[in-house]
Structure 1
Amino acid sequence: MSEGVSTVAVNGIRLAYRTWGKEHAEGTPVVLLHCLGADGEDWRGPLIPQLAAAHPIFAPDLRGHGRSDWPGEYGLDVLSPDLLAFLDVLGLQRVILIGHSFGSVVAGIFAGEHPARVERLVLEETPAMLPLDPPREIRERPDEPQAFDWELRRQFDQQRNTPDPRWWQLLQEITAPTLLIGGGTSSHLPQEDMAAMAERIPNGTMVTVEDAGHLVHEDRPREFAAALRTFLADGSQPGR
């Protein structure tokens, strides 16, 4: 499988996606979900060659991002069906699912709703979907052009403020071995919330890459890749 950008029709919209790796690689397909405001290109870097040697890799632009359609509807209960349809159209029955930040929220909900489709789950710098106190400000669209639909940020901020309790409950339905990777005290996300998520997921654990901040796979790629290799290679999970 050569690298490229393709599109696929799912749920009445078009999703763009990038591919890396060998089409007939024996490893389980890897699906990478980017953070808010980014796209599948965000994953390009040292991690890709290491994974692509053994796994076909798929990195979609989630709806409202990049080259995918911007339909204006961005509820998390829409994004999870998008991912299911994406896997079905591409014939990906069981995957290793890796998400960063916003993408990790989508990944976690999907893994709880469709546990049979996820062999292993990695959540990088994932926000806990618990009510925020104080609530997050819902900001107006800036004047300058954006690389994603600003309405998506507004809707996600609203969902962060008053999340559906079902999303937190779904963590207990995840059956895949799950690795949460936190960026330590330099991250803006509460690391204790990620630790609570790791405790709630039946086969979950957490590792912390200190001083990595929110962009662990970008700012500390060696440490991120090392934790991922250990997690994927032999089934062992790094200790808390």
Structure 2
Amino acid sequence: MRNSTKWICFGQPSVSWWSYPFSCTGSPPSRPWIRSKCPRVIRFDPDFGYPENTSPQKLRLPSVLTIQFSITEVRNRARNWQTIQNQKDRKEAKMNADPLNLNYRRWGSGKPLIVVHGLFGSAVNWQSIGLRLSQDWTVFALDLRNHGDSPSSADFSYDALVQDLQGFMEQQHIEKAILLGHSLGGKIVMAFADRFPEKAERLIILDIAPRPYPGGHREILKAMIDLDLSRMKSRKEALDALAGSIPALATRQFLLKNLVRGADGRYRWKINLAAIYPHLDELSQGPQLKNQYPNFALFISGSESEYITEEDTGLIRRYYPNARIVIIDGAGHWLHADAQEQTVEAITGFLRSTS
């Protein structure tokens, strides 16, 4: 195993240390000389053996010999290494920016209507509503990356999710579509429409507002990760094992739609939990909107859900001046499951009245 990465810093504070997501022995801000004098941090190869108790001008090779570098040499070497790292970062960013080929289901004919599910969901969850809406529209229900039958990726950022949606529309030769999103899917749709308003004909947002949501399903995700699936002999065992962390039966039943049995007979999660968990903080912050959406938008909430509150209506109007807000009595966060009939009526009524 390679040594832990060491750090050195110099120059003006143009880049924060957390811009370089590499492992290290201790966080750079915990070291006083970095925190107070050198906000710019450069990573050195761990095999180069930079010790913590020497000055930034000294580098120790793995051999007994210690070489004293001048400030100029240190800067030149670090600049060269940083150039290489920047090239690598740009290459990785380009790779991450490429949209994935998302799995999807399609029903009907007419104007395109794209459905984007929420966290832990999939296209399958929208089959009943998709078939209902397909009488008047061509419905595309997507599997997000790391969900359903879509490919996995370590990048689960808003940028990547928005680019996937854009890429899907290009692949299907869709210039403009009605976009429907639930929960996280609603955030993705809002972020997409903010960046590409000309591609978003109308918006339908289910039970989410354009604001941060602290927590972001962290406990649910942790419970799923901690569940020892190797010991599960049946889906019922898994359902019961999650009860201590997730009391709501309906939520557990929904989550277990992601549980499948592999060729070896063992259960596994279809959703890529390991890729999603590191991005929870970003996802909980919500989309960073910059513009007002000029077209019609519909926000639907359940009366038993706290995801859209009375205080959120002003925020919604700020970014969506042509928004309508509908509250379905008795429905919770998964209102498309709790109140499918009322949800379909609200959607179709909105689309027909704004066509």
TM-score (norm 1): 0.81
Aligned to 2:329: 210
Q: How far 1:136 sits from its partner (Å)?
A: 6.9
Q: Which residues of structure 1 form unaligned runs of 5+?
A: 1-9
Return closer, same or farther for 1:29/1:135 CA change in 2, 3 Å cut-off: closer
Cα distance, 1:40 vs structure 2: 0.7
Indicate whether 1:56 and 2:138 are aligned: yes
Question: In 2, Cα distance between the equivalents of 1:89 and 1:194?
Answer: 35
Are the equivalent residues in 1 in contact too, given 2:106–2:140 (CA < 8 A)? yes
The answer to whether the Cα contact below 8 Å between 2:118 and 2:181 also exists between their aligned partners in 1 is yes
**Aligned residue type for 2:100:** I
CA offset at residue 115 of structure 1? 0.4
The C-alpha deviation readout for 1:130-155, integer Å capped at 9, x for no partner, is 263x7875754233332311135424
CA distance in 2, matches of 1:153, 1:190: 24
User: Structure 2: how far apart are the matches of 1:227 and 1:155?
Assistant: 35
Q: Which residue does 1:38 correspond to in 2? A: 121
Say which SS state the counterpart of residue 105 (structure 2) adopts: strand
1:100 and 2:223 correspond: no
What amino acid sits opposite 1:87 in the alignment?
A: M
Q: In the alignment, what sits opposite 1:11?
A: 98
Preserved CA contact (<8 Å) 2:156 2:275: yes
Separation in 2, partners of 1:135, 1:149: 16
Using the alignment, how far apart are the partners of 1:12 and 1:217 within structure 2? 28
Q: Which has the higher contact order (CA 8 A, sep 6+)?
A: 1
1:87 and 2:169 matched: yes
Inter-partner Cα distance in structure 2 for 1:16 and 1:135: 25
CA drift at 1:168: 4.0
Aligned to 1:195: 313
SS at match of 1:58: strand
Q: Residues of 2 paired with 1:135 and 1:220: CA distance?
A: 23
* 1:152–1:125 distance in 2 versus 1, CA, 3 Å: farther
Q: Percent identity?
A: 25
- What is the SS of the residue equivalent to 1:56? strand
From 142, 146, 153, the counterpart of 2:269 = 146
- Structure 1 residue 79 displacement after superposition: 0.5
The 3-state SS of whatever aligns with 2:124 is helix
Pair 1:126–1:193, CA change in 2 (3 A): farther
Q: Distance in 2 between matches of 1:90 and 1:105?
A: 22
**Counterpart amino acid of residue 36 in structure 1:** L
Corresponding letter in the other structure for 2:118: C
Contact between 1:104 and 1:126, CA under 8 Å: does it hold in 2? yes
RMSD: 2.4
Q: 1:37 to 1:52 in 2, by over 3 A?
A: same
Determine if contact 1:121/1:179 at 8 Å carries over to the other structure: yes
**2:202 alignment partner, SS class:** strand
Amino acid aligned to 1:195? T
1:5: which partner in 2?
A: none
Letter in 2 for 1:42: N
Query: Partner of 1:158 in structure 2?
Result: 281
Mapped partners of 2:348, 2:114: distance in 1: 15
**Unpaired runs of 5+ in structure 2?**
1-96, 230-267
Structure exhibiting the larger radius of gyration computed from Cα positions: 2
The residue number in structure 1 matching 2:298 is 179
Q: What's the CA shift for 1:127?
A: 4.4
Structure 1 runs of 4+ aligned residues shifted over 6 Å read none
For 1:76 and 1:151, locate their aligned partners in 2 and report how far apart those are by CA, in whole Å. 17
The residue identity in structure 2 corresponding to 1:99 is G
